[in-house]
Amino acid sequence: MNKSNFVLPKTYLIGYTSLNLDGLKEYLEDTNQTEFLNDIEEAQKSGINDGEILCSFYAKACYASLVLNKNKNITRIRDIEDNVKGILNSGHGSVLEHCQLNFMITNCSRVFTHELVRHRVGTAFSQTSGRYVRTDKLNVVIDPILEPAYDLVEEAREFLESWYKRLETRLDINNIKDFNHKKKLTSAMRRLLPNGQSNEIGVSLNLRTLRHTLEMRTSEHAEWEIRLVFNQIYNLVKQKFPLMFFDAKENMINGLLGITFTNRKV
């Protein structure tokens, strides 16, 4: 049995919202709030992420509390770190939506992607197109719970891979010049491929959605593969966005972390 045909998802953090200091500085100059630039500098020195600073900026802007003397009701202002923690403690979750994180996930199954795309609010998805993409090899993502029967799993995988190649030959798809017809055949042929087939998906989530989704998809009741991926996501972001996850609680459940947040109302 060739276990190299069995693959596991891997997640990459490929982008996230950052500050455009030139534009922000222009706004602060035009509104006589340049003192806030000192807060930004101190926050960056302490390792606070641009996205967290941006969330703090929008929260402070709501209450005219970027600097003193803009709001007569305010006699003191919080620094950015205390402000972000106050956001989470108070449940002011809407400002977390201003920061978005971008991930690419490889070697994931369509079982996983079908579950992932249920999270529509605050997300964006770009997935491998089974209508356009054909491959020479059928790799599959298999839950380790099936390890006692891996030989039977491989038997099924080999059959489907061989069948798919025979179907390609019968249809002579490789020699078809009309791309539109080739696309239609590829789309029709994929209907017989398994949900465990390996593919890729890009996903973007804002910080508010990510906190919610982490709790749901690292739960012990979630499916194995989606728990694995969101463990990877959590490990990628918890150091880069320390304030946004300062209230996270980690529990090891069946070899994977279960994440809960103290401030669930966010």
Interval 223-230 mean pLDDT: 97
Contact 98, 58 (CB under 8 A): yes
Contact 198, 140 (CB under 8 A): yes
Q: Which tens digits make up the pLDDT trace of 177-211?
A: 999 999 999 999 999 999 999 999 999 999 999 99
Predicted pLDDT at 254: 92
Residue with tokens 């390890």: 147
Instruction: Report phi then psi at 14, rounded to 5.
Output: -110, -5
165 is written with which tokens? 């190649």
Mean pLDDT taken over the chain: 93
Predicted pLDDT at 2: 57
Q: How many CB atoms within 10 Å of residue 166?
A: 10
Residue 72 has pLDDT above 80, yes or no: yes
| b/e burial code for range 76-97 (CB count within 10 A of at least 16 → b) | ebbebbebbbebbeeebbebbb
* C-alpha–C-alpha distance, residues 211 and 218, integer Å: 11
Catalytic residues: 217
246 is written with which tokens? 């300062």
Question: Three-class SS of residue 202?
Answer: strand
Predicted pLDDT at 135: 84
Interval 32-46 mean pLDDT: 95
* C-alpha–C-alpha distance, residues 92 and 25, integer Å: 25
Per-residue confidence band for 147, with pLDDT thresholds at 50, 70 and 90: very high
114 is written with which tokens? 């079908």
pTM score of the predicted model: 0.92
Per-residue confidence band for 215, with pLDDT thresholds at 50, 70 and 90: very high
Residue 85 has pLDDT above 90, yes or no: yes
H or E element at residue 100: strand 100-109
